[in-house]
Amino acid sequence: MVYKSIDEANQAVVSKIIAGSPFLLDVVPAIDVIDEFKHGKVLLHAGPPITYDKMIDPVQGACIGAALFEGWADNEADARKLMESGEVTLIPCHHVDAVGPMGGITSAHMPLVVVENRTDGNRAYCTMNEGIGAVLRFGANGPEVIDRLRWMRDVLGPVLSKALQTREPLNVNVLIAKAIAMGDEFHQRNIAASLAFLKEMSPSIVALDIDQKDKEDVIQFLADTDQFFLNIMMASAKSVMDGARQIQEGTIVTAMCRNGYEFGIRIAGMGDEWFTGPVNTPHGLYFSGFSEDDASPDMGDSAITETFGVGGFAMIAAPAVTRFVGTGGFFDALHTSEDMTEITTASNPNFPIPTWDFRGISIGIDARKVVETGILPVINTGIANKKAGLGQIGAGTVNPPMEAFEKAVLAYAKKLGFEE
Amino acid sequence: MLHTVIEKNSYQDSIVLMLLTNYLETLDGVNNVQVMMGTPANKDIFKTGGLATEELEAATPNDMVIVLDVDNEDLIDDVVKKAKVYLDEQSNGSDDDNSGEERVKTWDKALEVAKDAPVALISVPGVYAASEVEKALDAGKNVFCFSDNVTIEDEARLKQMAHEKGLLLMGPDCGTGIANGLPLAFANRVRKGSIGIVGASGTGIQEVTAIIHKMGEGVTNAIGTGGRDLKAQVQGITFKDSIALLDQDPDVKVIVAISKPPAKEVRDDAVDLLRAAKKPVVAIFLGEKPEAHEKGLYRAYTLEETAKIAVGLLHGQEPTGNEDVAVKVPTVTLQPQQKYIKGYYSGGTLAYEAATLMNNTLGLHAENGVDGSILKKDGYEVLDLGDDVFTQGRPHPMIDATKRKEMMVSAGQDPETAAILLDIVLGYGTTDDMAGDLKDTIIKVKADAKAEGREIAVIVTIVGTDMDPQDYSQQQKTLEEAGVILCENNAQAVKTALAIVGHPVEEKPLPILPEKPSNVQMPAVSDRLKEMLTATRFLNVGLESFADAINESGGSAVQFDWKPIAGGNVELQKALLFLSKVDLKVGV
């Protein structure tokens, strides 16, 4: 396909985003769907490419947890030595059709949700949400964390997989449309979608001919985990954005992610190339005893939700979390969502927001508009302690660095023949 | 010492509790506090935060838990009470309903949201002003351009462009205006009425509208043209279109034109156009002493006279020559060496008027001053402290009194000073209490002089109305308490000063000559231009206070938080321009 202008190419990308149709097919061990795991010791991480020495403490902590989980070492010191040795190959999740929350550390035997974008036939993957408290994504790697990962590998993954095989693949768009009307914005708040997911899955789970205790544990875990849907949302957004970026023209942002060190974006016209800048530290509300001084720099692939048009872009959909925007309320959320319309290309009519007079979510971030206006995307995010394993200490919002968008716009202009 | 308070079955949203925690932390005597629901994950957070207690373990996910570190146990009840009050207040919602506020950040959005606004106010940095004015004109908006530092070539080009599109460009460097009774930029609130004004001078328009208001009449539209409109390069494009507009406005009965004398090349045209108006016109060419009226085109010498002739005409009364009522001269006992008048003005046109009156009355034959020094001859001095020379790196004297205080103190110490003239400009864009800011200095200057056996007259005029956001009568009261001679307007103030130093202004009624023929055709007025007269909606590009002024006065303004494209980065601007035009088929 040849496009006359960038506007026309951008419109084509946006049309693909609107047409995207993600379905949850299965939950499988990572090694079954990602070939890279078959070649030596491999870990996936969030964000653009990074080396171990540049990783911040929580991400290193998660690497150590993954090494322990995979049985590469039986104690923390040995695991750390292994990571420092460089023997473990580090690959961005995004390079293997995957996304990962916070540290995004993913290893061969972790179960992944498999989402297929039926419009373009491509698939995307993400680990499952571990719940809150001491969890690997925030860098915790103690016995309870590893035990939970094992249970997810041995019970949760297989049970969900079996349950999914007994029913039609789960149409994720339907869940999103329902839950956005129930006040989810799919980054800070996924409780409605998580409950809708539980409602969809529980008849299949309870009907399985498996150990009763496993059934109960799985149902209990899903009932307890308010953010369970986030990871499904991430894989779905990834599948839709990867489908859309098959068009390799134009300035629509097709991925935003961060590794705790750098923030990276991709735009359609520059294919797989990352444009990066230093990450910022989120602003928001902190749990007692913590402040911005304790906060880890921004990390995680979860900004794929904003790239898709939810999260900070749909802040107005979730009045319950609006106060994460500083101490403001409804109207601050409205202003945030209105601002985001100034850097996006269209509305997605499939996901109307009742609190926004049924306007569709804003989609197609145009890197040109970001540079032109100086308005940066707003990303809703959890805030991790900068020390590994201490977990979440607050929540808030964060902006990407302008530099990443400037580099992308300049590189694309030069590719098209612009001379300074 | 840690204390645990558990409110059974009291569910609160976690964000509300985080906000509550932040609030409780600010209370005196509270060393540390955390409020959360008693879920297992939250209990871990209590522990991590050093707030683990035994009682905490008993809490369920439906209980609200307060763990509190205070030294004084008596505080606990108080903290719990305050927490409950806070939660009650949260549930009452916020009072500031800003749902009506409209705010945009890009031209695309601005033109979408403000598509029904016939006027755009532009107050962006001067280097960007020309291109932003052009965008607004292209979008079919009449433009009020507050920005200065636009080249005169750009001004001429943009005004021609506006004219051809049937639009009006007010400014650049247009400081004030009134559209449909609504204040634009630095303007006074005046009642609506049948006098229409076109002016090339900011404080000149303010003074005339304020006097008209005080006389019980009003102004619905006062159009600023910018100070260079009647120069040869610009040819009075905006002046002419504005006169035509007011001449066709059925609500206007009398037209007032305020300007410095037009350039020779433009003068005949401009005056002929005023003669061509169907309605009576009062014209003041600041600095010129008129010699005669013509039937239908009346000439004023001072701003006060301008307003009074206009109100007279509105009442069917031709000028009588008594508009400049003689001033009552208060008794001031001067020492023989006290001869001179010092004027320290915040309004440029007011300074100019003072200099003109002093120059002509005293026969000083002073050259036109430069750099804010409007008049400087012997010991006579008039300064425009709003001139760029005085405002480098400091706020405008309508906002900040520092420079005026300095000048007053040094004038007070000069044994030859007889009187000090000051203006206080009220309205949007100026400070709340200039009288209060100046009061102590006025008292001190007078007292110090008195200690040396001299009496100094401090003569003040307030440009403003009882509708202005400031308290007009309180400003008067403050000044009276300071012992000033308060005059109704600037002309009165200057005449009072001149009378005190023994040189009263002599009034001489002007003859009214017969109507002179006009060779000029009144320009046609487009519908888009007429919409300006009844505008209620505006697009405000730049300084937010201008939007506030319109909104507070009953209009509505869309606020465009303008920023230079790509933060002003030229390379990125070029790349963006390239990308907006690149043809992908031909692209490399």
Q: Tens digits of per-residue pLDDT, B153-164? A: 999 999 999 999
pLDDT recorded at residue B92? 66
Q: What is the pLDDT of residues B162-190, one digit of tens each?
A: 999 999 999 999 999 999 999 999 999 99
Q: Which two tokens stand for residue A291?
A: 């402040």
**Which numeric CATH code is attached to B103-321+520-560?**
3.40.50.261
DSSP string of B282-296, one letter each residue: EEEETT-----EETT
* Confidence category of residue B588, pLDDT binned at 50, 70, 90: very low
* Confidence category of residue B26, pLDDT binned at 50, 70, 90: confident
Domains of chain A (ranges; CATH) run 22-232 (3.90.1710.10), 248-415 (3.90.1700.10)
Q: Which residues of B40-78 are buried (b: 16+ CB within 10 A; e: fewer)?
A: ebbbebbebbebebeebeebeeebbbbbbbbeeeebeee
**B231: CB partners within 8 A, 6+ apart:** B152, B263, B266
* Confidence category of residue A309, pLDDT binned at 50, 70, 90: very high
The rounded distance, in Å, linking the Cα atoms of A273 and A267 is 8
The values of phi and psi at residue A249, to 5°, are: -140, 155
Contact B575 A418 (CB under 8 A): yes
Chain A residues lying within 8 Å of B574, measured CB to CB: 418, 420
Q: Count residue pairs from A and B with Cβ separation < 8 A.
A: 133
Calculate mean pLDDT across residues B284-296: 93
Of the partner residues A4, A288, A334, the one whose CB lies closest to the CB of residue B583: A4
pLDDT at B322 over 80: no
Residue closest to B356 by CA, chosen among B416, B458, B285, B457: B285
Q: Does B70 touch chain A (CB under 8 A)?
A: no
- CA-based nearest distance A359→chain B, Å: 15
pLDDT recorded at residue A155? 98
pLDDT at A325 over 70: no
Contact yes or no for A235/A129 (Cβ under 8 A): no
Chain B residues lying within 8 Å of A344, measured CB to CB: none
pLDDT recorded at residue B62? 80
Q: Does B9 touch chain A (CB under 8 A)?
A: no
Contact B40 A133 (CB under 8 A): yes
Calculate mean pLDDT across residues B353-376: 88
pLDDT recorded at residue B587? 45
Averaged pLDDT score across all residues of chain B? 90
Contact B106 A410 (CB under 8 A): no
The verdict on domain B340-500 having CATH code 3.40.50.261 is: yes
- CA-based nearest distance B373→chain A, Å: 42
The rounded distance, in Å, linking the Cα atoms of B185 and B226 is 13
pLDDT recorded at residue B326? 65
Q: What is the pLDDT of residues A268-306, one digit of tens each?
A: 999 999 999 999 999 888 887 788 899 999 999 999 999
Residue of A nearest to B579 (CA): A413
Which residue type occupies B503? H
Give residue B510's Cα distance to chain centre. Answer: 35
> What is the share, in percent, of chain A residues with pLDDT greater than 90?
87
Of the partner residues A5, A251, A321, the one whose CB lies closest to the CB of residue B583: A5
Q: Which residues of B517-556 are buried (b: 16+ CB within 10 A; e: fewer)?
A: ebeeebbebbeebebbbebbbbbbbbbeebbebbbebebb
Q: Count the helix, strand and coil residues of chain A and give each as a percent rounded to the nearest 5.
A: 45, 20, 30
How many secondary structure helices (H) and strands (E) does chain B include? 19, 24
Residue of B nearest to A341 (CA): B109
The rounded distance, in Å, linking the Cα atoms of B97 and A23 is 41
Question: Across the strands, what pairs with B345?
Answer: B384
pLDDT recorded at residue A152? 98
- CA-based nearest distance A260→chain B, Å: 23
pLDDT recorded at residue B275? 95
Chain B residues lying within 8 Å of A380, measured CB to CB: none
pLDDT recorded at residue A335? 86
Of the partner residues B45, B48, B106, the one whose CB lies closest to the CB of residue A342: B106
Contact yes or no for A52/A61 (Cβ under 8 A): no
Chain B residues lying within 8 Å of A416, measured CB to CB: 578-579, 582, 584, 587-588
Half-sphere exposure of A308 (CA within 13 A, CB side): 30
pLDDT recorded at residue A346? 95
**A77: CB partners within 8 A, 6+ apart:** none
pLDDT recorded at residue B323? 64
CA dihedral B485, B489, B492, B495 (to 10 degrees): 90
pLDDT at B534 over 80: yes
Higher-confidence position of B142 and A420: B142
**Which numeric CATH code is attached to B2-91?**
3.30.70
Fold agreement (B103-321+520-560, B340-500): yes
The rounded distance, in Å, linking the Cα atoms of B460 and B48 is 67
Taking the domains of chain B in order of start, what are their residue ranges? 2-91, 103-321+520-560, 340-500
The rounded distance, in Å, linking the Cα atoms of B439 and B314 is 38
Averaged pLDDT score across all residues of chain A? 95
Q: Does B52 touch chain A (CB under 8 A)?
A: no
pLDDT recorded at residue B103? 85
Q: Does B16 touch chain A (CB under 8 A)?
A: yes
